[in-house]
Structure 1
Amino acid sequence: MAVLFLAHRSPFPPDRGDKIRAYNILKYLAARTPVHLLAFADDKRDLDSAGLASLTASCKIVWRGKSRVVAMLEALASGKPASLTAFDSAEMRAAVADVLGRGDIDTIYVFSGQMAQYLPEGTRARVIMDFCDMDSLKFADYAKTATGPMRWLMQREADRLFAFERQVAGRVEASLFVSAAEEELFRARTRAAKVRVVENGIDTDFFGPAASFDAVDERGPLIVFTGQMDYRPNTEAVAWFARDVLPAVRAAHPQARFAIVGRNPGEAVRALAGEAVIVTGEVADVRGWLAAAACVVAPLKIARGVQNKVLEAMAMARPVVASDAAAEGIDHAGTIRCAHDAAAFAGAVIDLLDHAEKGDALGAKARARVRERYGWDARLAPLDALLGWPPAPARDAA
């Protein structure tokens, strides 16, 4: 028997949070049974499936070129959430029907809620729905800060998407979330019974200070943020930090600079670049920037689930200052600093710049915590019981 793995974004290359999770789950499943992958690509690099050939029994990547405007117009016309119309594709529907028509699929693993629209009615296959986090609440958060028509659109999206999430949860074997906080929110809001936690992990050999990577040579103490820079919570986070936190930090440490490291920075992010702010755009390897950081910041106002950027910094043994929202999903045991406003953020960063040895000690404790708590195989082990498999042999000692 085999698994059909549906993903809203190709898992390869695993270079952003959702793709990292999808890739490692795909790899975990493929070690046990044949997996047929169907996924979308919105970046031309993701159309190349060569990196997935060794993991999959078959693989088809479908180009998703629909604009946000078209998706929203279709949503308004159909009554559906735009999160679904953005991923609605006749080509994907045909591909799903083709794979299921082969008759050997006993499990469908749906990665991200957008792909649940492809579940056939009355399927006999076991369905595992990996929501990752509650997307509907993200749009509800957007609505709180939006004005005019955008407030209405964001609240509409939150309401329609929540109704869809609740409907899907009622017809699947299990609904998965990356953190206990997300699981509890979903269970409380939907009254769904079959809700489980399958946390994110991290490769602590790859993300480690002793690993081989190119060093970054930049003057002054660096404060580093990493992330996909066309993602709204990230762009809002770096803009807030540069505007409301960095001036106080530079008053105490005039040579300090803020490095924004990540792909596809928009005009608003690029405009931040200057003497005090570095905007790198895409880099081949974030590890050099993390290793060079005096501290890493995650000042997200809106954050759901587990933030891979925080786990990566912890694994690199760097001290982290995070917002309460960014830290909430991580069992960090006090090894990261949490800050709820600009003054607290600035104070925590200044303290780490004042006392480098304190930052090094905190980073070492953070790495030890990640090694103890967040190895991928240990985090994905609950999948065995959900799929009716015997426990997998230990492969990850990280």
Structure 2
Amino acid sequence: MKILFLTGRVPFPPNSGYPIVVYNTVKGLLTLETEITLFSINPTKDHIDVDDIYDPVFDQINFHSFSLDIDVNVWGAFFNIFSNQSYNVSRFYDDDAAKLLENLLREQEFDIIQFEGLFVVPYLDIVKENSKAKLVYRAHHVEFDVWEKLATLERFTPRKKYLEFLSRRLKVYETEQINRFHQVFSISEPDRQNILLMGCQTRLDVFPVAIDFERYNVDVTKTSFPTLFHLGAMDWRPNKEGLEWFLDEIWPDIEKLSGELRFYIAGRNMQKQFFDYDSENLIVEGEIFDAVEFMNSKAIMIVPLLSGSGMRVKIIEGMAMQKCIIATSMAAEGINCKNGKDILIADTPDEFYRSILQCITQPNKWLEIGANARKTVERDHEINSNAKRMLAIYEVLMKG
């Protein structure tokens, strides 16, 4: 079977949510005798030097990419207001990229073409005009839902109005596109429900984040305690706002619990304002080389998201590393976990305080939750079983 993946980022290296999801999907399908081609937009914001990619998965695929400047432009954003396009999405379209994709489609025939996320959907018309393949759309998030929630949290009125405007445009675009595919994959059950509410009438299945457990080796002898940590890309607005809330409203009281307690903050594109929080008990590390090694060395994972959609890949990775995770209901949304068994849910400063206090005073508690978390992700997020199920759906599409 010949499969083409269209992606809004180069998924190498798999060091954050979107690349991990795409990378593990490709890796799993390669074990099932599929031939995979990858066409990636390579945006300035997350630009990857393709010549520096050294990865066995990369060596097994046919790869094409197009470098594109998607940075927000003040004038571009202003003039977009007077168009009928979503500025979030339109920045990912380029005529030269479309031509490159068109040439690829004329040179090769594919059985399945999978669009990884909303930002490559602007190329759908090019694909439909030049290919008879079955078309699959995977929603990594319900995009408009992310921006809707951000707008509700925004206090500065002009910015709030603009976020509401962006979310409305995104909702119109997503709703218009969702039924133009033969198959839709959502990344969680709550997202599946939201997509149905958007009027989806095509085939719709849930495919959660897949994990290659060979990468997540736990060594508890290297885990320091008592330690808290937060890990996430800090240029993603929900991460930024959630961490600000935790540091301003919760951390000052947590810090007083123990002079030995340390809170480590890491993630790419760490913004300057977070370094201002740095103290003896709070260490801001910025971007780290090895996320798995970082997680292994710390005890308790803090995920204070107040907005967002989809499934938090870093929580799945943390569970795979047997971490006790304390997260908001929003952060844990879509993950098949149970409060008090394989995760701790905290939605208020008091709940975070009580959960952290419990873990610090009862070390066996966080160890037990971490062990249960690993069992949960082994059951629901194993890479090979997910790949087999996806291939089976592809085969049904082709017969149809």
TM-score by length of 2: 0.90
SS state at 1:36 partner? strand
Match of 2:141 in 1: 133
Q: Which residue of 2 is the match for residue 332 of structure 1? A: 337
The alignment status of 1:145 with 2:171, answered yes or no, reads: no
Distance 1:289 1:36, change over 3 A: closer
Deviation at 1:237, TM superposition (A): 1.7
Partner of 2:107: 102
Name the structure, 1 or 2, with higher relative contact order (CA <8 Å, separation 6+): 2
Contact 1:75 1:85 in 2 (8 A): no
Mapped to 2, the partners of 1:8 and 1:64 lie a distance apart of 10
Q: Is the 8 A contact 1:5 1:38 kept in 2?
A: yes
The 1:72–1:287 alpha-carbon spacing in structure 2 relative to 1, beyond 3 Å, is same
- Are the aligned partners of 2:187 and 2:310 in contact in 1 as well (CA < 8 Å)? yes
Q: Look up the match of 2:132.
A: 124
Task: Compute the displacement of 1:232 (Å).
Answer: 1.1
Are positions 1:288 and 2:293 aligned together? yes
CA 1:176 to 1:75, structure 2 compared with 1: closer, same or farther past 3 Å? farther
Instruction: State how far apart, in whole Å, the 1-side matches of 2:134 and 2:38 are.
Output: 16
Find the counterpart in structure 2 of residue 379 from structure 1: 386
Instruction: Measure how far apart 1:300 and its partner are.
Output: 0.6
The 2-side partners of 1:135 and 1:251 are apart by 39
Which residue of structure 2 aligns with residue 13 of structure 1?
Answer: 13
Q: Is the 8 A contact 2:312 2:331 kept in 1?
A: yes
Alpha-carbon shift at residue 77 of structure 1 (Å): 4.5
Question: Gaps spanning 5+ residues in structure 1: where?
Answer: 391-398
Q: 298-307 or 39-48: which moved more?
A: 39-48
Alignment of 1:333-372 (within 5 A): 333=338, 334-372=341-379
2 CA distance for matches of 1:20 and 1:161?
24
Residue in structure 2 matched with residue 395 of structure 1 by the alignment: none
The CA distance in 2 between the partners of 1:53 and 1:341, in whole Å, is 43
Query: Matches of 2:294 and 2:93 in 1, distance apart?
Result: 38
The one-letter amino acid of 1:61's match is S
Alignment-derived partner of residue 173 in structure 1: 182
* AA in 1 matched with 2:161: W
Structure 1 window deviating more from structure 2 (84-93 vs 106-115): it is: 84-93
Farther-moved stretch of structure 1 (67-76 vs 197-206)? 67-76
Please list, as runs of the form range in 1=range in 2, the aligned pairs for 1:269-280 lying within 5 A after superposition. 269-280=274-285
1:261 paired to 2:266: yes
Shift of the alpha carbon at 1:90?
A: 2.1
Say if 1:184 and 1:259 are closer, same or farther in 2 by CA, change over 3 A. same
Letter in 2 for 1:184: Q
Structure 1 CA distance for aligned equivalents of residues 59 and 396 of structure 2 = 22
**How far apart are residue 80 of structure 1 and its match?**
0.9
> SS where residue 80 of structure 1 aligns?
coil
* Structure 1 segment 303-318 matched on structure 2, within 5 A: 303-318=308-323
Report how far residue 103 of structure 1 moved. Answer: 4.0
The answer to whether the Cα contact below 8 Å between 1:178 and 1:198 also exists between their aligned partners in 2 is yes
SS in 2 for 1:37: strand
CA contact (8 A) 2:7 2:41 kept: yes
Q: Tell me the distance in 2 between the aligned counterparts of 1:372 and 1:67.
A: 39
Give 5+ residue unaligned stretches, structure 2.
none
Q: Quick one: which of 56, 63, 71 aligns to 1:67?
A: 71
Count of residues paired in the alignment: 385
Q: Aligned partner of 2:41: which letter?
A: F
> What is aligned with 1:35?
36
Give 1:30 deviation, angstroms.
Answer: 3.6
The 8 Å contact of residues 232 and 314 in structure 2, kept in 1 or not, is answered as yes
Match of 1:396 in 2: none
Secondary structure of the residue aligned to 1:330 is coil
Q: Which runs of 4+ in 1 moved over 4 A?
A: 214-217
- Normalised TM-score (structure 1): 0.90
Aligned partners of 1:53, 1:294: CA distance in 2, in Å? 33
Residue in structure 2 matched with residue 24 of structure 1 by the alignment: 24
How much is the aligned-residue C-alpha RMSD, in angstroms? 2.2
Offset, 1:140:
0.7
Match of 1:393 in 2: none
**Aligned partners of 1:66 and 1:201: how far apart in 2?**
28
Which residue is 1:45 aligned to?
48
Deviation (angstroms), 1:176: 1.1
What's the secondary structure of 2:255's corresponding residue? helix
2:119 to 108, 111, 114: 114
* CA gap 1:308/1:116 in 2 versus in 1, 3 angstroms: same
